[in-house]
């Protein structure tokens, strides 16, 4: 009986984590400025925000297609291109956000404040075209109706985070779920009304992305890609040849790995 139990446990563990896949580098592109943020759209176009305030769009072959240089220079805290026809950019220092069209023409920057709060740590676009915000002072997740400038939902983090030990690093809505990464406790998952659902045990992430049903994040100082199915919780890893990568995206059997001033494209085999 004990032997059968041990075999069952080993089988379960082996099914949760698969062996690393083989990578073949197909292209490497040097960048002129240091990368501070990045995103990818559904067509595999890369959006790179640099430390000089500029944002560039590269096609799936990492060829520069469009360039945006704002009048007011600042580092993009979060850039999100999953909507395809427009790209959301959040500036924490300015407490502003703007939208770029597919040619990187920009909208007028929108102020987030207007008496709603004093400081927002993170902001991202929601599936209903409203805005998810993290109120740093109140330690609260909020959903803002950007048309009428009123909050639709407010969810305190005090039941999910240690107020004395937390660092929220990134957030993204995907498949009607909102994912918020905290370096200490992992990734918090909420529904599209802001109700807490669960936490994924993926810690120490500064950024993550998605491919199909898998959440993709870098860990172990960028030396491995960790993928976890957001529904089944099945996990797998992909070893990387360079520990300096800061962002990683997967699209059409390709892995796009972005270092401080370089884009490497690998084929997954």
Is there a domain that residue 64 lies in?
yes
Contact 108, 100 (CB under 8 A): no
CA–centroid distance for 174 within its chain: 10
Q: How far apart are CA 219 and CA 237, in angstroms?
A: 10
Span 3-29, mean pLDDT?
Answer: 58
Residues 6 or more apart whose Cβ sits within 8 Å of residue 10: none
**Structural domain count, the chain:** 1
CB atoms closer than 10 angstroms to residue 55: 24
| Residue 9 in domain | no
Torsion of CA 131, 135, 141, 146, to 10 degrees: -20
Average pLDDT for the chain: 88
Please determine, for residue 88, whether its predicted confidence score (pLDDT) is greater than 60: yes
Q: Give pTM, 2 decimals.
A: 0.89
Task: Say if residue 53's pLDDT is above 80.
Answer: yes
Token pair, residue 148, equals: 């009428």
Whole-angstrom Cα distance, residue 56 to residue 118?
A: 31
12 located within any domain: no
Polymer length of the chain:
269
Q: What is the pLDDT of residue 161?
A: 78
User: Is the distance from CB of 205 to CB of 218 less than 8 angstroms?
Assistant: yes
Q: Would residue 72 count as lying in a domain?
A: yes
Q: Which of 125, 133, 162, 170 is nearest to 150 (CA)?
A: 133
pLDDT of residue 65 exceeding 90, the answer is yes
**Residue 8 within a domain:** no
Tell me: the pLDDT tens digits for 163-207?
677 889 999 999 999 999 998 889 999 999 999 999 998 888 899
Q: Which among 268, 263, 240, 269 is positioned nearest to 62, based on CA atoms?
A: 263
How far apart are alpha carbons 244 and 5 in whole angstroms? 41
End-to-end C-alpha distance for the chain, whole angstroms: 40
Tell me whether residue 10 is in a domain. Answer: no
Q: Flag whether 2 is in a domain.
A: no
Mean local confidence (pLDDT), 68-84: 94
Domain CATH number, residue 89: 2.120.10.30
Q: Is residue 56 part of a domain?
A: yes
Do 121 and 138 meet the contact criterion of CB atoms below 8 Å apart? no
Give a three-class secondary structure readout of 187-208: EEEEECCCCEEEEECCCCCCCE
Range of the domain at 246: 19-268
Express each pLDDT in 97-138 by its tens digit: 999 999 999 888 999 866 555 789 999 999 999 999 999 888
| Alpha carbon distance 186, 17 (integer Å) | 18
């Amino acid at each position: 009986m004990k032997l059968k139990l041990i075999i069952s446990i080993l089988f379960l563990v082996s099914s949760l984590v698969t062996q690393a896949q083989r990578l073949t580098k197909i292209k490497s592109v040097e960048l002129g400025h240091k990368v501070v943020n990045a995103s990818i759209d559904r067509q595999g176009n890369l959006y790179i925000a640099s430390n000089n305030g500029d944002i560039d769009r590269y096609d799936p072959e990492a060829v520069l297609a469009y360039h945006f240089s704002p009048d007011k220079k600042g580092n993009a805290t979060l850039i999100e291109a999953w909507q395809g026809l427009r790209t959301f950019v959040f500036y924490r220092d300015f407490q502003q956000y703007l939208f770029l069209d597919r040619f990187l023409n920009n909208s007028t920057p929108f102020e987030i404040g207007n008496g709603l709060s004093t400081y927002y740590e993170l902001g991202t676009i929601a599936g209903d075209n409203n805005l998810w915000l993290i109120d740093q002072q109140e330690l609260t997740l909020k959903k803002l109706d950007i048309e009428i400038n009123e909050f639709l939902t407010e969810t305190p983090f005090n039941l999910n985070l240690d107020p004395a030990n937390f660092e929220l690093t990134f957030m993204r809505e995907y498949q009607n779920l909102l994912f918020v990464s905290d370096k200490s406790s992992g990734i918090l998952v909420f529904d599209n009304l802001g109700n807490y659902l669960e936490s994924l045990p993926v810690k120490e992430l500064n950024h993550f992305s998605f491919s199909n049903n898998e959440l993709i994040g870098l860990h172990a100082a960028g030396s491995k890609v960790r993928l976890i199915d957001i529904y089944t919780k099945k996990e797998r890893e992909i070893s990387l040849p360079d520990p300096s990568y800061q962002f990683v995206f997967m699209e059409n059997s390709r892995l796009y790995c972005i270092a401080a001033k370089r884009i490497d494209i690998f084929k997954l085999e």
